[in-house]
Amino acid sequence: MKRILIQLDTDPLPSAFDRVVAIDADVDQLFSYGGVTPANATALVHGAIFTRAPADLKNTAIFIGGSRADAGEAVLEAVRKAFFGPMRVSAMLDSNGSNTTAAAAVRAASKHVTLDGALAVVLGGTGPVGHRAAQILASQGATVVVVSRDKDRADAVCRNIAGIHPDAQLQPASLSDGAGRLLESAQILIAAGAAGARFFQADEWRTPTLKTAIDLNAVPPAGLDGIGATDKAAVHGGVTCYGAIGVGGLKMKIHKAALARLFESNDRIIDTAEVYGLATGLA
Ligand SMILES: NC(=O)c1ccc[n+]([C@@H]2O[C@H](COP(=O)([O-])OP(=O)(O)OC[C@H]3O[C@@H](n4cnc5c(N)ncnc54)[C@H](OP(=O)(O)O)[C@@H]3O)[C@@H](O)[C@H]2O)c1
C-alpha cells in the first residue's frame, strides 16, 4: 500500500523545505496544504482517517509545519481531537524545523559535555528552535539560562517548559546582561537567534568554562562571531564549535528518521521529546 504523507502547514504556502525532505524520506505521495488552522484541520484529518481500514492506517501520516510554533501546536491539538478509537494516524510536529534542529544541536553538545548537571545558555531562546533546545536541555538535567532581548518573554518560555518538565532548572535572562554575566560558569552555549541577529564578539563568548558553542544561524553574519556555518566540532579558542550547516546533516537525518517512524504504526505523536529520543539513537 502506498505511504501517504499529509503536510499541514500553518503558513499560506506549504514549506518547500519540508516537501523536499518528505520526498527524500521516500513517501510515495505527498499531499501539501497551506493556511491550515485548528478550524480547517478537522476535515483534512477526517480525509486521512476515514479512507483506509484501521489496519492500513499506518500507511497514512500527518506532518505539521509552518513558521509559527504556537500555530503548529494548536493544529496538532486539533488533529489529536479529531482522532478516536482506532481511527487515527501518526502525526509529527516540526514547525520551522524546531524539534529536529534543536535535537541535533543538543545531541552535538552532548558529545562534549554531560548534559545532566551542566549549565547551558540559549540565546534567542524565545524562538521555535531556541525554545525547543532549552526544553530538551532541561529535560536532560541541564540548568538552562533562556535569553531574550525581553526578560518577560524569556520568563514565558521558562514557564511553558516548567509546565512540561516540572523539575526543570530554568533561569530567564535578558540579552542586555551581557556575555560576561550570562556565560559565567556556562559549559554549553547555543545561539538560536533570527537570521541577522549578532549576539557576541569572539572574545566575549569564548569564556574559560565554555566547552561547546553552537550557532544555528546559517545566513551571514554569524550569531556568534568566529563560528563558521560549516564548523563541525571545530575548536576555536579552546571551545568546540558547530555552525548551522555543521549540525544540519544530523538535523536532516533526524527529520527523515522521524518521518519513517510515522509509518511504523498509526498511533505515534512525534513532538519534542520523541524527536530527541529518536536523535539519541542516531548520533
Ligand atoms: N541549521 C539548521 O538546520 C536550522 C534549521 C532551522 C532553523 N535554523 C536557524 O535557527 C535560528 C533560530 O530559528 P527560529 O525559527 O527559532 O528563529 P526566530 O524565531 O526567527 O528568532 C529567534 C529569536 O531571535 C531573537 N531575535 C530576533 N532578532 C534579534 C536581534 N536582532 N537580536 C537579538 N535577538 C534577536 C528573538 O527573540 P527575542 O525577541 O525574544 O529577543 C527570536 O525569538 C535561525 O537563525 C534559523 O535560520 C537552522
Ligand 1 atom nearest the C-alpha of 251 is: 3
What residue owns the CA closest to ligand 1's atom 47? 217
Ligand 1: centre distance to CA 88 (Å): 34
Strand 269-270 and strand 239-242: the pairing is unpaired
Residue for grid cell 499531499: 31
pTM value is 0.96
Helix (H, G, I), strand (E, B) or coil at 129: helix
Query: Over the stretch 141-188, which tens digit does the pLDDT of each residue have?
Result: 999 999 999 999 999 999 999 999 999 999 999 999 999 999 999 999
276's CB contacts (< 8 A; 6+ apart) are 99, 102, 103, 106, 107, 136, 139
Decide whether any atom of ligand 1 lies within 6 Å of the 244 Cβ: yes
Ligand 1: centre distance to CA 4 (Å): 32
Angle in degrees, CA 65, 66, 68, rounded to 5:
115
Question: By the 8 A CB rule, do 41 and 82 touch?
Answer: yes
Alpha carbon distance 16, 22 (integer Å): 10
Q: What pLDDT is stored for residue 103 in this prediction?
A: 98
Alpha carbon distance 89, 57 (integer Å): 6
Is the pLDDT at 78 greater than 90? The verdict is yes
Q: What percent of the chain has pLDDT over 70?
A: 100
Decide whether any atom of ligand 1 lies within 6 Å of the 232 Cβ: no
Question: By the 8 A CB rule, do 5 and 32 touch?
Answer: no
Mutate-to-test residue for ligand 1 from 94, 96, 175, highest number of ligand atoms within 8 A of CB: 96
Alpha carbon distance 36, 27 (integer Å): 21
Number of residues that this document lists for the chain: 283
234's CB contacts (< 8 A; 6+ apart) are 228, 240, 241, 242, 246
- pLDDT confidence tier of residue 16, bands split at 50, 70 and 90: very high
Strand 169-174 and strand 143-148: the pairing is parallel
Is the pLDDT at 207 greater than 90? The verdict is yes
Helix (H, G, I), strand (E, B) or coil at 28: coil
Q: What pLDDT is stored for residue 124 in this prediction?
A: 98
Domain annotation for the chain: domains and CATH numbers: 4-93 (3.40.50.10280), 98-247 (3.40.50.720)
Alpha carbon distance 253, 219 (integer Å): 21
Q: What percent of the chain has pLDDT over 90?
A: 98
Nearest CA-CA partner of 100 in 256, 224, 263: 256
Query: Over the stretch 26-61, which tens digit does the pLDDT of each residue have?
Result: 999 999 999 999 999 999 999 999 999 999 999 999
Sign of the dihedral through C-alpha 275, 153, 171, 238: positive
Query: Over the stretch 105-129, which tens digit does the pLDDT of each residue have?
Result: 999 999 999 999 999 999 999 999 9
- pLDDT confidence tier of residue 68, bands split at 50, 70 and 90: very high
Mutate-to-test residue for ligand 1 from 15, 147, 149, highest number of ligand atoms within 8 A of CB: 149
Q: Average pLDDT over the chain, rounded to whole?
A: 97
Strand 60-65 and strand 29-33: the pairing is unpaired
Q: What is the mean pLDDT of residues 54-69?
A: 96
Question: By the 8 A CB rule, do 4 and 27 touch?
Answer: yes
Q: What pLDDT is stored for residue 61 in this prediction?
A: 98
203 exposure class (CB count in 10 Å sphere: 0-12, 13-18, 19+): exposed
Q: What pLDDT is stored for residue 283 in this prediction?
A: 84
